[in-house]
Amino acid sequence: MRNEPVDKEKISETSESYKDNWWKMSQYDQDYENVIWHIENCMNYIIIMSEGMQPTYAAPPQLSLSAANWNESELLTLYASILPTAAQAGYVADAGMTVRIKAFLKSRRRYVRAGSQSP
């Protein structure tokens, strides 16, 4: 995660795909257990991809991510961007991911030192 570039447009499009998929599923599948199971699988899929492992879960084609096209920074940003929607459905954030996201965001902060002003 050494200052890897983050493609904001790719993350935004993928984030919307995930949210849209979850919304559509909640409209036709009234079984809450099925919907939350799907959301948990999607979130775990992103976690496993961000750790550089190959997930055993086969994501739906429109939600599938290629390890070659996504770096850790982008996956952490994607996870953080869809987390509020997943949490609304009942998903509980992974504690390890929360720590990794905080560390990632902290490393991206820019500190500006105020210049001295003369009276």
Query: What is the tens place of the pLDDT at every residue in 77-102?
Result: 999 999 999 999 999 999 999 898 88
- CA dist 52 and 62 (Å) reads 20
Total structural domains in the chain? 1
Q: What is the pTM of this model?
A: 0.83
Domain presence at residue 33: yes
Alpha-carbon distance of 61 to 64, in angstroms, equals 5
How many CA atoms within 13 Å lie on the side-chain side of 93?
18
Q: Is residue 46 part of a domain?
A: yes
In a domain, 21, yes or no: yes
DSSP state for residue 114 in the 8-state scheme: P
118 located within any domain: no
Q: Map residue 90 onto helix, strand or coil.
A: coil
Residue range(s) defining the domain that contains residue 82: 8-107
Q: Is residue 73 included in any domain, yes or no?
A: yes
Q: What is the pLDDT of residues 10-50, one digit of tens each?
A: 999 999 999 999 999 989 888 888 899 999 999 999 999 99
DSSP 53: -
Do 62 and 112 touch, CB atoms closer than 8 A?
no
Gap between the Cα atoms of 32 and 73, Å rounded = 31
